């Protein structure tokens, strides 16, 4: 017996972890800086960490009350009905729930390229399929309604990401409205706002009073620093909010994660610090990295370095882990997550050294090429000596 054909789904490639790299290279994990997964370098809110410890003694109980509490708190924050908030195991879970609710077998979704691979994976898991629309590097990965609609062919779901991963570009409000008006009545536009706390743009949640063809996904993994607990949510139109009860996995979000998310929502100071830190790091990388960078509204910067794989591998050997974006179809780039001030400075210094070395070697000006030329010259001189 074998599973069904899953060959259309390329495995998701996560950023490499500190422990993994340390074992491979024989390094001390404490000497490594990980800036490959867009995590919060300041960790979780102290209040969230305390809530995790406090929840430990009750993990034998299903998290019904905590789920309700978080749902109501998020509904109050966004000024929507509690039924419109779908709490899920990570934002990935929100994408799965929307696929369950919307897709019939054979339905297609439209996804950005480059972009988060799980959009198409989720559709295929639920017996749908995926097409893509391009975000062009030469245009700075600008997102416009026309760019999406040029590729649109009546898909059931259209995915947009703002800020976009891995490029950091945004879909402006007026472009989102034009997109919503340009798709067919049966199409749902899903706006992924995983990095929205780091942006100054308004959330698409504000449009839900007027639209029944829009859903917004968000996460506690980034600005809130709860990536390890996998808590996310979708905010959906009131007209079909009751679908949640029919697609939700029983008790999918853990009691510990729910408790941490509830506490994290109250610690606005931690979120503000994380956002301010990311904005400083973005600016520092853009101004000091000796490579072209793309404007970003997320907690990361995409840099064009020539050979992304070589740069990422060599930086990793020196203790700085960044994301090789070859899996996104961008082999000439690396993505650098925003770290603490010390981590960011170290990353830029290391990357500048590495980029110079890799590009020098690629152009034939590196030490290896110079040494080979000197050896060839010596051999030629020896041949003409009497």
Do 248 and 349 belong together in one domain? no
Region label for 294, one of left (φ > 0), alpha (ψ between -120 and 50) or beta (otherwise): beta
Would 383 be classed as within a structural domain?
Answer: no
Question: What pLDDT shows up at residue 14?
Answer: 74
Angle subtended at Cα 20 by Cα 17 and Cα 26, rounded to the nearest 5 degrees: 130
Do 241 and 277 belong together in one domain? no
Residue 131 CA: distances (Å) to CA of 3, 68, 109, 117, 139: 24, 36, 6, 12, 21
**Other Cβ atoms closer than 10 A to 240:** 15
pLDDT at 385 over 80: no
pLDDT at 365 over 80: no
Distance (Å, rounded) from C-alpha 364 to C-alpha 209?
A: 60
Listed residue (173, 165, 31, 25) closest to 91, CA to CA: 165
Q: What is the DSSP letter of 89?
A: S
Q: What is the DSSP letter of 203?
A: P
Do 228 and 116 belong together in one domain? yes
Would 329 be classed as within a structural domain?
Answer: yes
Would 385 be classed as within a structural domain?
Answer: no
CATH code for position 89: 3.40.640.10
Which pair of structure tokens corresponds to residue 282? 């973005």
Do 209 and 342 belong together in one domain? no
Do 320 and 362 belong together in one domain? yes
Do residues 158 and 190 make contact, with C-beta atoms less than 8 angstroms apart? Answer: yes
Region label for 137, one of left (φ > 0), alpha (ψ between -120 and 50) or beta (otherwise): alpha
Q: Map residue 62 onto helix, strand or coil.
A: coil
Q: 357 burial class (0-12, 13-18, 19+ CB within 10 angstroms)?
A: middle
Do 253 and 274 belong together in one domain? no
CATH code for position 281: 3.90.1150.10
For residue 122, what are the domain limits?
Answer: 46-266
Distance (Å, rounded) from C-alpha 278 to C-alpha 275?
A: 5
Do 121 and 251 belong together in one domain? yes
Do 174 and 292 belong together in one domain? no
Do 106 and 132 belong together in one domain? yes
Chain centroid, CA 26 distance in Å: 29
Q: 243 burial class (0-12, 13-18, 19+ CB within 10 angstroms)?
A: middle
- What tens digit of pLDDT does each residue of 134-182 get? 999 999 999 999 999 999 999 999 999 999 999 999 999 999 999 999 9
pTM over 0.85: yes
Do residues 321 and 343 make contact, with C-beta atoms less than 8 angstroms apart? Answer: no
Do 234 and 331 belong together in one domain? no
Distance (Å, rounded) from C-alpha 85 to C-alpha 25?
A: 44
Distance (Å, rounded) from C-alpha 341 to C-alpha 348?
A: 11
- Give me Rg for the CA atoms of the chain: 23
Boundary (domain end) residue, out of 221, 248, 266 = 266
Angle between helices 255-266 and 268-288 (to 10 degrees): 80
Would 10 be classed as within a structural domain?
Answer: no
Distance (Å, rounded) from C-alpha 146 to C-alpha 164?
A: 17
Count of domains in the chain?
2
Would 13 be classed as within a structural domain?
Answer: no
Boundary (domain end) residue, out of 238, 266, 294 = 266
Question: What pLDDT shows up at residue 381?
Answer: 44
- Partner residues linked to 321 by β-bridges: 34
Listed residue (127, 331, 297) closest to 197, CA to CA: 297
Would 378 be classed as within a structural domain?
Answer: no
Do 214 and 357 belong together in one domain? no
- What tens digit of pLDDT does each residue of 227-277 get? 999 999 999 999 999 999 899 988 889 999 999 999 999 999 999 999 999
pLDDT band at 371 (very low <50, low <70, confident <90, very high): very low
- What tens digit of pLDDT does each residue of 55-82 get? 999 999 998 888 999 999 999 999 999 9
Per DSSP bridges, beta strands 232-235 and 85-88 are antiparallel
Boundary (domain end) residue, out of 242, 266, 290 = 266
Which pair of structure tokens corresponds to residue 136? 């062009």
Question: What pLDDT shows up at residue 372?
Answer: 44
Do 89 and 34 belong together in one domain? no
Q: What is the DSSP letter of 30?
A: G
Distance (Å, rounded) from C-alpha 163 to C-alpha 299?
A: 9
H/E stretch holding 344 reads helix 341-362
Listed residue (195, 254, 268, 276) closest to 47, CA to CA: 268
């Amino acid at each position: 017996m074998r599973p069904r054909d899953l060959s259309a789904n390329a495995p998701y490639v996560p950023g490499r972890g500190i422990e993994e790299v340390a074992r491979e290279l024989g390094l001390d994990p404490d000497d490594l800086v990980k800036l490959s997964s867009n995590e919060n370098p300041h960790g979780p809110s102290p209040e969230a960490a305390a809530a995790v410890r406090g929840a430990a003694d009750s993990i034998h109980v299903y998290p019904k009350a905590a789920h309700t509490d978080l749902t109501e708190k998020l509904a109050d924050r966004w000024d929507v009905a509690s039924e419109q908030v779908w709490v899920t195991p990570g934002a990935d879970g929100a994408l799965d729930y929307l696929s369950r609710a919307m897709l019939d077998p054979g339905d297609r979704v439209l996804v950005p390229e480059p972009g988060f691979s799980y959009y198409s994976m989720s559709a295929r898991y639920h017996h749908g399929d995926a097409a893509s629309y391009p975000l062009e590097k030469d245009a700075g990965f600008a997102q416009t309604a026309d760019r999406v609609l040029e590729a649109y062919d009546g898909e059931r779901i259209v995915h947009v990401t703002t800020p976009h991963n891995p490029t950091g570009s945004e879909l402006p409000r007026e472009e989102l409205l034009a997109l919503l008006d340009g798709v067919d009545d049966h199409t749902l536009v899903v706006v992924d706002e995983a990095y929205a706390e780091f942006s100054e743009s308004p959330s698409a949640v504000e449009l839900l009073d007027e639209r029944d063809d829009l859903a917004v996904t968000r996460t506690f993994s980034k600005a809130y620093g709860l990536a390890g607990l996998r808590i996310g949510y979708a905010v959906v139109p009131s007209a079909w909010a009751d679908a949640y009860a029919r697609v939700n996995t029983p008790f999918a979000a853990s009691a510990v994660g729910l408790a941490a998310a509830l506490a994290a929502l109250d610690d606005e100071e931690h979120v503000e610090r994380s956002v301010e830190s990311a904005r400083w790091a973005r600016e520092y990388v853009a101004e000091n990295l000796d490579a072209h960078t793309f404007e970003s509204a997320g907690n990361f910067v995409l840099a064009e370095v020539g050979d992304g794989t070589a740069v990422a591998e060599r930086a990793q050997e020196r203790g700085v882990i960044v994301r090789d974006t070859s899996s996104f179809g961008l082999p000439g780039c690396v993505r650098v997550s925003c770290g603490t001030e010390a981590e960011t400075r170290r990353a830029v210094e290391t990357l500048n050294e590495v980029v110079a070395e890799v590009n020098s070697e690629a152009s034939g000006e590196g030490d290896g090429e110079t040494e080979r030329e000197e050896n060839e010259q010596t051999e030629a001189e020896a041949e003409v000596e009497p």
